[in-house]
Structure 1
Amino acid sequence: MSFDQPTYLTALQNNIRTRPIPWDGAVRAGTVLEWQLAKIRAVDKVKKEARRQALERDLDGYRVLFVGSNDDNGTDAVAAGQPSVLQSAAKRTDVVQYVLVLLDDLLESSGAAGTALAKAILSGPTTTTSTTTAAAVDPYRHLLPLLAHSNQADDPIPLLAATVLASLMATARDTSAATLTRALPALLSYLASLARQTADAGLQDIGVQAASSLLYSKATRRQFWAQRSETVGPLVAILRTAVGVSSSGGEEATASLWRATGASSSNGNGNGGNGNGNGAGAGASLGIGAGGSAASRIGALMEGTIGGGVGLQLLYHVLLVLWQLSFDAEEVGDDLNDEYDIVLLYTQLLRLSPKEKTTRLLVATLYNLLSANRATLLPTAVLARLPALLHNAAARQPADPDLQEDLEQLRALLDDYTTTKTTFDEYVAEVNTGHLRWSPPHRSVVFWAENARRILDADHGAIPRKLAAIMAKPWDNDKAVLAIACNDVGALVREVPERRSALEKLGLKTRVMELMGEADENVRWESLQALGGWLKYSFETAK
C-alpha cells in the first residue's frame, strides 16, 4: 500500500507555483533584493539538472537566501549582513508562500544537492576564510514564527512553513541543540494540532505524515514521546475511532476494548474465555486477505475507510508513527500500555485490519512492545486473546512472506509465555491490568483453596491493594468488574478468615457494604455473598 503526498497539500503547492509573482515590481519596491531574485530565477521553473547544478555551484548563497547571514562585518565569508528573502518579503504573503514552496521543492526534488542544502541551512556556512571564523546563524529565526503567522484558518503559511521545517530536519537528519530543544517541540505541537482536526482528514494526514518523517533518530523520538499528551494522544484517538470506542479514552474506552475481545462476561459463570485466549470465535473477523463478512464493513472498505470513517491512508500513517515509536519499546512500552491500552487496542485493530500492510505494522509493533516488556505486557496480550487471533491469522496464509514471518515470530513469543505460566500467574496478571473479567480462576474453588494465602502474601500484599483500587472506581460502563471483585474478596475471606482485619484496613469491607446498594443485581448479589462470609466468621469468633 503506497501512498502519495496528501492531496490537499499537493493541490495547495501546485496552486501557489502557478501564481504569477510580479518579481520586478517587488525588486523596485525593495521587497525582494536583486541578488535574491537572481538566485530564485536560477532554480525556479528550470529542469532538475539545472536546479541541481545551481545549488552545487552556490550552496552557501542559497543558504543565505533562505536564512540570511550575520550582521557583523565580514564574519560570514559568503554574504555578510544579507537578509533572508523571508525577512525582506515578510509583508508580502504571496512572495512568502512562493518562497516556502520553492524551498520545499529544492529539498525534496534535488537529490544529494537538496540534502546538502538542508545540512548547510541547519549547520551554517560550508566555507570560511583563513582569517575569519563563521559565526552561527539561527536557521529557524525566520521560519518558526511562521507557524503562528495568523489566526485565520485559511492562511496557508503556517502549513507551508511546517512542511518546510519537517523537510529540513528530516532531510538533514539533524539532532542539533537548536533543533531538539526549540524548533522540534514547536513543530510537533503544530503538527499535533493538525492531527486533532477530526473534521478534516486531509489536515490530519498531513500532520501525521510530517510527524512520521521527524522520527529519524532516538533523540527526536524521545522528544515526540515527551510531548505525548499532544503527539500520541491524537493518534490513539484516531485508532479508537477506527475500532468504534470512545476517542477520548478513559474507563469507558477501556471497558469497550475488553468487551470487544470477548474476554469479559457479566454472567458470572466463568465462561468468559480462558487465559490462553482459546474462546470460541476469537479472531474470527481478522482482515487478512478479506475484510470480514459484515455488509457495512465491506461497504466501508470499498470506500477506502475503516470503522468511524477513518481513511485507510490515515490509518496506515498513524500505525507507521507508532511502529517507529516502538523502536524504543523498553522506554515507552509500559507507559504506552498504561496510558493508552495499546495492547488491547492493537488486538482489536488486528481483528479489523483490512490490508496486509496495516496488519504487518500492527504485528511488528506488538512484537517490539511485547518482546521488550515481557513481564508486564505479555499477560495483557494473553488475556486479550491475542494468541488465538494470531493462530487464526496464520491459518489464512498471508501473501506477504514478511508478514508471515512476523506472525510466526510473535506467535512463538506468546506460545513460550503461555506454556510456562500458571493459573496463579494468570490471575495476578489480570488483576494488574486493572480490569477484571470472568476468567476461570474467579469461580474455581480449587484455585482459591490453593492460592488465597499466596495472593494475600505476594509482593507484601500488592494484590489486595490492587483489588481495593479497582473496587474504588464506579465502573459505570462495566459493572461486572465490581461483581467479580466482590467475588474475589469473598473468596479470600472464606479461605483465610484470620486475615479479615488486613482486608478491612484496605477499606474492602466498607466498599463491599456500599455495593449492596448498587442498581446492578449481579453486583448486589456478589457483595451480599462476600459480606455474608465476613459476618459468618465474625460471629464464630465472637462465640
Structure 2
Amino acid sequence: MSLDPPAYILSLQNNIRARPISWEGAVRAKTITDNDLKKIKSIDKVRKEQRRQTIEGDTESYVSLLLGGKDGQSIFQSAAKRPDIIQYMLVLSGDLIDDIPSFASALTKHPEPYSPLLPLLKQSSNPEEPIPLLTSSVLSSLISSALMSSSKADKQLGEALPQLYTYLSSLAKSTDAGLQDIAVQEYSAVLRTSTSRLQFWKQRDETLTPLFDILRNASGSSRDTDSALWSGSSTIRSISDGGIGGGVGLQLLYHVLLVIWQLSFEGASVGEGLHDEQDIVLLFTHLLRLSPKEKTTRLLLGTLLNLVSASPSVLLPAAVLARLPTTLKTLSTRHLTDPDLLDDLKALQEKLDEYTATQTTFDEYAAELETGHLRWSPPHKNPDFWRENARRILDENKGELIRKLAEIMSKPWEQDRQVLAIGCNDVSCLVKEVPERRSQLEKAGLKGRVMELMANEDESVRWESLRAVGEFLRYQVA
C-alpha cells in the first residue's frame, strides 16, 4: 500500500534541492574528491531517465559514493563537517532509491549498507533537525527494500532496524502532528515482513504505546479513563476540520490504524498482548462508532478480524463485553460500498454469532473478569445468576475467578470507581449464596478490601461495600 510522502518531508526536500552548493569549494577543501564531484554532477539535476541510465551503467561506483568501498569513505563520512552537503546528498540518495529499484537493491547488498547513515540519526535531539529526519526517510526506504528482497535474517538489518524504530518513536511522542505522521508513515514502509513486525512488537514500549496514545486521544479517552469506552454511548462525530476527537487529523488517524493493521498479521504473537496491555478490542470497537470514513472503518474491521481469528479464546469474549456485536449490527445498516470492508464485516459477524450462540451467562461473567475490568453487565444484578452460579464461580479452576476478582479490586480505580462498587456487589452476592465459603473470600483478601472501601469517597462504593460487610457479619459466629 503506497502512501504519499509526509508533507513536512516533501517541503524540506524541495527546499534543500533548491539550495546552491559550492561543490568546487568542497573539492578545494578536500572534503570531497574530484571523482566524487564528477559522479554527483552526472546524476544531479538531470532527467530521471538519464539518471537511471548513468546509475545502471556504473552501479558499483555510485554505491561506493554513498556507502563507501575499497576506494574510499562514504560521502556522508568524508563530508561530515559540511551539513549542507550531507543534507543535499540525503535528498539525492532518497530520490535514487525511490526512482531506481535496481540501485536500491544494489545498496542493500553492500557489506555495511546502513553504517554510514545510522550515526546521522543521533546527530541531534531536536526532532525538527533536518539531517536525522532526512536520514530516517532514506533508511526506511532502504530497509524496506532489503526486507522485501530477502527472506533470510540479516545481521546488518538486525542492528539497523531497532535504531530506526527508536528514532521514529521520538517523533511519534512529539505533540507535532506533522512529526507524528512522519513516524507512522516510515513505520508503515518497513512493516511489510514478519521480521520487521516482530521487532516492532519487541520494542512496543517505544514504538506502539505512543500510537495507542494517539488513538485514545482520537477516541476521547485516555489510559486512565477507559470507562468512557466501556459506556459505549458515543456516536459518529461531525468532521468539520478533517479531524476527530482530541484534534487528531483524519490522515494521521488513518496512518496510525494502517500500522496497527500491518502488525495484526502477527496476531498469534501479538493478539493477547494487545488485549492485555492496550485493551485493543474495546478501543477499536469505540473507534468504529466514531469512524468518519470507510477507509478508517476498513482498517479497524480488518485489524479486529485478524486478531480475533488468531486469538479467539481471549479476544472473542472481550469483543462481546465491548459490545462489538451490537456495533457491527449498527454498522451493517450504513450505506457501505467498499467490498473488502463488507467482506471483513460479514466474516467478523459470523465469528461473533458462532461464539455467542455457545455462551452461557457464566461464560459472560468469567470473560468479564478476565478482561480485568467490571461494568454493570446483566449478571451482576441478577439474583437468578448468583443462585445458579455462585458455587461454580468459587470452584472454577481452583478459585481462579475469585483470585481475579481480588486482583481487580486491589487496584485504586481512581478514574473509574464504579469498578469497585461492582466488585463489592459481587462479593456480597457470593457470601449471601454460599455463606459457608466465606473463608475462601477472606483468604483472597476480599473481606479486608470491602471493609477498607467503606471509607471510600464515592457514595456508590461505600453503599456496596456496606452491603458486602453486612453479609459477612450476618453469618459471623458470636
| Correspondence 1:510 to 2:426 | no
The residue number in structure 2 matching 1:92 is 82
**Structure 1 residue 253: deviation in Å?**
2.9
SS at structure 2 position matched to 1:31: coil
Higher helix share: 2
Name 1:406's counterpart in structure 2: 344
**Distance in 1 (alpha carbons) for counterparts of 2:172 and 2:451:** 46
Distance 1:326 1:155 in 2: 32
Deviations 1:333-376 (A, max 9, x none): 11111111111110111011010000000000001111111111
Distance apart, 1:87 and its partner CA: 1.6
Tell whether the 8 Å contact from 1:180 to 1:219 is kept in structure 2 after alignment: no
Deviations along 1:236-268, one digit per CA (max 9) or x if unpaired, are 01001101112xx2xx23223213x24xxxxxx
Moved over 6 A (4+): none
Q: Which has the larger radius of gyration?
A: 1
- Separation in 1 of the partners of 2:127 and 2:261? 31
Which residue is equivalent to 1:75? Answer: none
**1:300-449 equivalent positions in 2, closer than 5 A:** 301-449=239-387
| Secondary structure of the structure 2 residue equivalent to 1:142 | coil
Task: Report how far residue 119 of structure 1 moved.
Answer: 2.5
Report what 2:26 is aligned to: 26
Matched, 1:119 2:119: no
Equivalence for 1:7: 7
For the residues of structure 2 that align with 1:24 and 1:509, how far apart are their CA atoms?
A: 83
How far residue 18 of structure 1 moved from its aligned partner, in angstroms, is 1.0
Cα displacement (A) at 1:432:
1.1
- Equivalent of 1:233, from 192, 197, 209? 209
Distance between the aligned counterparts of 1:377 and 1:49, measured in 2? 52
Q: Could you tell me the percent identity over the aligned residues?
A: 57
Task: For residue 522 of structure 1, report the CA deviation from its aligned partner.
Answer: 1.8
Supply the distance in 2 between the matched residues of 1:422 and 1:238 (Cα, whole angstroms).
36
| 1:133-172 C-alpha deviation (Å, 9 max, x unpaired) | xxxx422221100011134555310111111111111123
- Per-residue deviation, 1:43: 1.5
2:36 maps to which residue?
A: 36
2:16 aligned partner: 16
What secondary structure, in the 3-state scheme, does the structure 1 residue paired with 2:332 have? helix
Report whether the alignment pairs 1:101 with 2:91.
yes
Asked whether the 8 Å contact 1:59–1:117 carries over to 2, the reply is: yes
Aligned residue pairs total 475
Structure 1 length-normalised TM: 0.85
Counterpart code for 2:160: A
Matched letter for residue 181 of structure 1? G
Aligned to 2:72: 82
Q: Within 5 A, what are the aligned runs for 1:136-535?
A: 137-152=111-126, 154-173=128-147, 176-198=153-175, 200-246=176-222, 249=223, 252-259=224-231, 261-262=232-233, 285=235, 292=236, 297-298=237-238, 301-535=239-473
Shift of 1:377: 1.1
Contact in 2 for aligned 1:6/1:202 (Cα 8 Å)? yes
Structure 1: gaps of 5 or more residues: 70-79, 125-136, 263-282, 286-291
In structure 1, how many angstroms separate the alpha carbons of the residues matched to 2:117 and 2:77?
Answer: 10
Contact 2:96 2:104 in 1 (8 A): no
Q: Which has the higher contact order (CA 8 A, sep 6+)?
A: 1
Distance verdict in 2 for CA 1:527–1:188, change over 3 Å? same
How many angstroms does 1:34 deviate by? 1.4
Give the direction of change, closer, same or farther, for the CA distance of 1:152–1:498 in structure 2 (3 Å limit): closer
Rounded Cα–Cα distance in structure 2 between residues aligned with 1:145 and 1:446? 66
Question: Is the contact made by 1:192 and 1:207 (CA closer than 8 Å) also made in structure 2?
Answer: yes
Distance 1:471 1:154, change over 3 A: closer
User: Quick one: distance in 2 between partners of 1:313 and 1:158?
Assistant: 23
TM-score of the aligned structures, taking structure 2 as reference length = 0.96
- Aligned CA RMSD, in angstroms, stands at 1.6
Contact 1:243–1:307 at 8 Å: present in 2 too? yes
